[in-house]
Structure 1
Amino acid sequence: MIKIKNLDKSFDGFKALTDLNLNVKKGSIYGLVGTNGAGKTTLIKHLTGILKPDAGDILIEDSPVFDNITIKERMGFIPDDLYFFASYNLKESAKFYSSIYPNWNQKRYEYMVKQFDLNEKRKLSKFSKGMQKQAAFILTMSSMPDYLILDEPIDGLDPIIRKLVWKYIVEDVAEREMTVLVSSHNLRELEGICDSIGILSKGKMMIERDLDELKSDIHKIQVAFKNAAGNPYEGLNVLHKESRGTVDLLIIRNRKDVVEQIINEQHPVIFDVLPLSLEEIFIYELGGGDHEIESILF
């Protein structure tokens, strides 16, 4: 289990993270999302022991991460900005990884190289960005991590390779109970694989919930009334409302049964509860309802 408690971090007077808490269950996939500059990468650098917090605790299996070699030997980390030794090829990098990760799996490495169709003898510095991401993924997954931390892992990858990456991750979670935290702007793909979501904004954790639970409390509806007395939405937590002719489109944060009860009491002529994506939840939870993107969502 990964646990962060009351984390604070400042850089030259700028508060990057404030009283931040995070919980990732063992054997689960946790999606970390947020706007640009929200503090996601700073949080990940604390979680991987690169940065030391000003205050708070970063714990894996109840042990502090910073300067903890035993934990780091069981952790895989793929940053958004990759770094490789300039003169190394993939085969030489694998030899280096095998010397520092005690659970290195040479057979998996050899199989993945063939599956991703990469040239072991070509310098990694000559690889494209997408190929470097694949190389980093092969090396990391071959170290058989118990904890996998990913920062924009599929950025720059084609759809076939993205599917293969997620396949390996999901299988290791299912078979080895690997614990995963992934930060990404690709909310549609996170929605398909994550068990829980943390929404970060301005260095603070705004929401941390199981994905299914999060979706159960926020809804998109379209509704029209022939004759509605007063405010037909009184008693509902309306995050956004838009009218198109006689039809209202709303984003509402309430339990579904509460929404249905209040709307049905007004005898609507049209009432539909529409599917709501993680992307829409993210936008409206962070107050983006007045942004021009709302026209796309509806």
Structure 2
Amino acid sequence: MIEICGLTKRFGKVNAVDNMTVNIPNGAVVGLVGSNGSGKSTLLRMLAGVYAPDGGTVKVDGIQHFDNPVTKGECFFIPDFPYFYNTSTVESTAFLYRRLYPNWSEQEYNRLCSIFPININAPIINMSKGMQRQAALILALSTCPKYLFLDEIFDGLDPVVRHMLKSLLAEKVADNKTTVVIASHNLRELEDLCDRLCLMHRGHMMLERGIDDLRHGLRKVQVAFTELPYKPNIFEGINAINITRNGNIFNLTIKGTEEEFMPKLKALNPAFVSAIPLTLEEIFISEMGAAGYDIHSIL
């Protein structure tokens, strides 16, 4: 388990991560999402032990993580822009990692080299952005990390490789109980992969919850009337956080379960009512709007 308690990281006068407390359970696939500049990449670097905290702690399996070679050997971090030396190849980097990472698997390395269409003896720096990410993934997964931190890993990967990566990550979680934390702006890619979501804004953790729980607590509802009810506030008593109207048709975003709000809606005698779960992107927009970060506050 990763235990984050009161974690703070400052750059000048800016608190990139501000007094954050959250736990990440073993074997979870966590999507880390948030507004631009919310501190996602900074948090990943602190989880990987790259940045020293200015306040608070990160513990991995109950042990203080920063500058600890034991816990660092269980972790691997792929940043948004993977760094390699000018002469580095996959094979030369693997030669180094065999000595650095105690769980390195030669069998897994050979398997991944056969799966990804990449020349392991070519200079990585001369490869395309997507191929560099594939090189980083071969090396990362071959270390068989207990904790894997990925920053915008889907950026630059073609659809086939993205699908293959999701399958490999699901395999690692199922077989090895690997904990994966993925920071991404592409919520559609996270939707069928993650089981938990962490939403950050201005250095704070706004929510941390299971995706099923998030979907259960928010619904997108369409209500149509033949004749509008004679009420000043039609949806009074219903926790609607957003309402749009087109004639006698209303689209609502409602907080709560269908068991809670459906009887109230049906009591209005609508001609039609339908409720479906929100996508992760819709949940993100809804939660960020509640925090004052929406298109109206930006423009």
TM-score by structure 2 length?
0.94
Q: Gaps spanning 5+ residues in structure 2: where?
A: none
Is the counterpart of residue 176 in structure 1 residue 189 in structure 2?
A: no
Match of 1:295 in 2: none
Tell me the CA shift for residue 136 of structure 1.
0.3
Q: Secondary structure at the match of 2:153?
A: coil
Query: SS where residue 148 of structure 2 aligns?
Result: strand
Give the secondary-structure state (helix, strand or coil) at the position aligned to 1:102.
coil
Determine the C-alpha separation between the residues in 1 that align with 2:42 and 2:230. Answer: 51
CA distance in 2, matches of 1:104, 1:158: 27
Alignment partners' CA distance in 1, 2:277 and 2:66: 42
Report the Cα distance in structure 2 between the residues aligned to 1:101 and 1:145, rounded to whole angstroms: 9
Could you tell me whether the CA contact under 8 Å between 2:215 and 2:277 is conserved in 1? no
Residue 289 to residue 61, structure 1, CA distance change in 2 (3 Å): closer
Tell me which residue corresponds to 1:154. Answer: 154
Q: Distance in 1 between matches of 2:110 and 2:14?
A: 46
d(CA) in 1 for partners of 2:59, 2:244: 44
In structure 1, distance between residues paired with 2:86 and 2:293: 46
Structure 1, unpaired ranges of 5+: 293-298
Matched, 1:268 2:279: no
Q: Which residue type is aligned with residue 270 of structure 1?
A: F
Structure 1 Cα separation of the partners of residues 116 and 92 of structure 2 = 17
Once residues 198 and 274 of structure 2 are traced to their aligned partners in structure 1, the CA distance between those partners, rounded to angstroms, is 28
Deviation of 1:43 after TM superposition, in Å, equals 0.8
Counterpart-to-counterpart distance in 2, 1:187 and 1:238:
23
Q: Look up the match of 1:296.
A: none
Deviation for aligned residue 1:3: 1.7
Output the amino acid matched with 1:228.
P
Aligned residue identity for 2:72? K
Q: Which amino acid aligns with 2:229?
A: A
Partner of 1:37: 37
1:19-168 paired onto structure 2 within 5 Å: 19-168=19-168
Identity of aligned residues (%): 39
Normalised by the length of structure 1, the TM-score is 0.94
CA, structure 1 residues 59+116, in 2 after alignment: closer, same or farther (shift >3 Å)?
same
Cα distance in 2 for residues equivalent to 1:51 and 1:9: 8
8 Å CA contact retained: 2:38, 2:201: yes
Once the two structures are superposed, residues 20-47 of structure 1 have per-residue CA deviations (whole angstroms, 9 ceiling, x without a partner) of 1222111110110001111101111111
Please give the per-residue CA displacement for 1:87-109, whole angstroms capped at 9, x wherever unaligned: 12111111111111111111211
